[in-house]
Chains A and B, each alone.
Chain A
């Protein structure tokens, strides 16, 4: 948990430092971005930490609004003997991007999601088969577009959810942090203006 707090502190410091930059804005409508990250999450109700490989695809429908889908692939729990054996999830939602005058792009969003979770719990000699569980999540973070094609991304996500099967009722609520590198393309590139010469005696 202390490590997670330290990571969050680093994250906030990074935001503060980036805000100070004042080069020309990069963020605009039409950006399509894909990011791969590594994430770590802490489940306070169960006192276990989990590692994920995550990815997301984001489209800027407007300069300050994007639609984004995320996938979290569960790698493992860091604790020995953790009851959680699977907790992969997908999310889809929208983000609001706070306007800035730089490549720094702070964002906040809400993403409902679904998790496939499975535990080592048993009931009547039957192992938990796992189940799809609805999730609600709140995200804040940033993209930093420092180059034409690439950007970095960091997010803090709070997820609320519960696995309910006949064998297990496991609280999936988690605070997680992820950080990674992304690739972006511009689907709406600006075309040069068409110049039409005026008609007149000089052009005849």
Chain B
């Protein structure tokens, strides 16, 4: 068994623990709220400092007054200094904990922390040697902070900063220079676990459709 598999099992165990906590939590009037949203994501701290842009969607299922879940999908494109590119696909979930006494009130900013797991697809291409590397991983974990501002009783704006770590197979890029001083991109796929990842800043608009 390799380290990434252990990490993956740890993530699943944590998720089950959180879900069981929510099941035993006291029911309240906000439980079951279903919210649908669209999101734009900026990806940074990866691939030689290049910044990527993504689009995606999400839905939220609220469990209790102070706990929510967000299920999302993103497609992110990063131009790596015009010498290569990276495409990321994410499908995942996070559990959201509101620290406010009365979260998600209208015309009020509600801060929260969140953590979760995602399935991750990465495709990196280098112009230099036409190297094109793809990989799927079920072991990416993310955690971070966010804030939601409710513009109306059903409509909100959310800003989330998450650091996503690729715990399974990962793809690393590095910029090198030829003897003539031209830069080029090298792609490596090191084995074993790593905490390498990227910071994802997501802005979303969400509309609460009703209760499940």
Name A's B-contacting residues (CB within 8 A): 61-62, 64-65, 67, 92-94, 96, 109-114, 123-124, 132-136, 160-162, 164-166, 169
Contact = CB atoms under 8 A, between A and B. Distances in A.
Chain B CB within 10 Å, residue with most, of A92, A135, A136? A136
Contacts of B82: 169
Contact of B207 (A94, A123, A124, A160): A94
B106 interface: no
Interface in B183-211: 203, 205-207
Contacts of A124: 130
A94 B55 contact: no
A113 B155 contact: no
A111 B56 CA distance: 10
A65 B152 contact: yes
A165 B77 CA distance: 10
A65 B40 contact: no
Contact of A65 (B39, B75, B87, B154): B154
B54 A61 contact: no
Interface range for B? 20 to 34
B30 interface: no
Smallest CB-CB A-B distances: 10 pairs: A164-B85, A112-B55, A134-B55, A136-B40, A94-B205, A65-B155, A112-B40, A93-B38, A134-B54, A162-B79
A166 B132 contact: yes
A161 B55 CA distance: 10
A191 to B, nearest CB: 22
Given A62-B152, A134-B76, 18 more contacts: A65-B207, A67-B207, A93-B38, A93-B205, A94-B38, A96-B151, A112-B38, A112-B40, A113-B55, A124-B130, A134-B55, A134-B77, A136-B55, A162-B77, A162-B79, A164-B85, A166-B127, A169-B79
Contacts of A112: 38-40, 55-57
A162 B55 CA distance: 12
6 contacts: A112-B40, A123-B127, A124-B130, A134-B53, A136-B55, A161-B77
Chain A CB within 10 Å, residue with most, of B54, B56, B205? B205
A172 B121 CA distance: 23
B55 A61 contact: no
Contact of A164 (B40, B79, B205): B79
A50 B77 CA distance: 23
A134 B75 contact: yes
A67 B155 CA distance: 10
A133 B9 CA distance: 34
Nearest to A160: B53
Contacts of A113: 55
A120 to B, nearest CB: 17
Nearest to A173: B53
B125 interface: yes
B207 A61 contact: yes
Contacts of A67: 207
Chain A CB within 10 Å, residue with most, of B39, B53, B55, B152? B55
B53 A94 contact: no
B55 A114 contact: yes
A33 B47 CA distance: 43
Interface in B38-76: 38-40, 53-57, 75-76
B154 A166 contact: no
A165 B125 CA distance: 9
Nearest to A124: B130
Contacts of A93: 38, 205
A62 B55 CA distance: 25
